[in-house]
Amino acid sequence: MHILQIGPLSAAFNQQLADTYPVTPLWTQSDPAAFLAAEGGRFDAVVTSSRFGLSAAQFGQLPALRAVCSFGVGYDAIDVAAARERGVAVSNTPDVLTDCVADLAFGLVIDVARRLSEADRFVRAGRWEQGGFPLGHRVSGKRLGIVGLGRIGQAIARRAAGFDLEIAYHNRKPAEVDYRFEASLTALAEWADFLVLSCPGGAATHHLVSAEVLEALGPQGILVNVARGSVVDEDALVAALTGGRLGGAGLDVFAAEPQVPEALKTLPNVVLLPHVASATVETRQQMEALVFANLAAYASDRPLVTPV
């Protein structure tokens, strides 16, 4: 087995991978495309992440590829259709990051509604001595709409139940849960005080949250996105926030990461995070361990542990 690593993960992971298997880091090549054109036939396994992915062009330069082991739950940046067509196994790292992503999603709900980050800036700037801080909004007892009721969405719902929130959700199809299913995303947004996105990225959900959905959520509504930046029409989001037609937003993901629209940085009712929903020591260690478990399964000619 010879592994091609598309992009760097933690220093400890990179070192362990290099100590365990023959591996070539693609990001160290001066011309990655030229390198793959010349050397791509040597690699039968790829290690990547939801950030770096594996494009159709890269697939075409890896004729011997048999397995892709990805760090992260999302796989929209991997050409899964090409993998299936060629019989290439693909794995991700589900479940182990569910709780941390759900924790952060609900943390953003509280942060934006109660204006925690804004209040922190207020104190640090010495403005408390000049007067009191404006009121926030209650979280408990409100209405929470969840877009994408998979593992993470259900974990968010469980946390919301502890705050006595009324819960409804929008999915491709109803799930076997007690929460109310809403087939219309616009209707869900109109009903909700908080709309949390935990759905997959990719073509099927591109700009799912449109200007119409944001208008329905309204000037008191709060949008939280821990899914993918592509799920939201970012231009429409900026327009709704700057125009006062949306109450606030908590965003962990963006359309063109790490670039963030400058307009969002100026808004006090927006909390901006650098895609850190799964970024805890414990969860990242479990994710890395799962990548190695999938590699070990492939190396032993066994099925991948967590195939997509």
List, by residue number, the catalytic residues: 228, 257, 275
What lies within 8 Å, CB to CB, of 305 at 6+ separation is 91, 290, 293, 294, 297
Q: Which two tokens stand for residue 281?
A: 């020591």
How deeply is 42 buried, as exposed, middle or buried, from its count of CB atoms within 10 A (0-12, 13-18, 19+)? middle
CA atoms within 13 A on the CB side of 151: 12
Q: Which residues contact 192 (CB under 8 A, 6 or more apart)?
A: 143, 144, 145, 168, 217, 221
- What single-letter amino acid sits at 114? R
Tokens linked to 62 = 């890896």
181 half-sphere exposure, CB direction, 13 A CA radius: 10
Cα–Cα distance measured from residue 144 to residue 40, given in angstroms and rounded to the nearest whole number: 48
Which residues, 6+ apart, have CB-to-CB distance to 292 below 8 Å?
16, 17, 20
What is the DSSP code string of 21-55?
S-EEEGGGSSSHHHHHHHHGGG-SEEEEETTT-B-
Retrieve residue 243's tokens. 């125009």
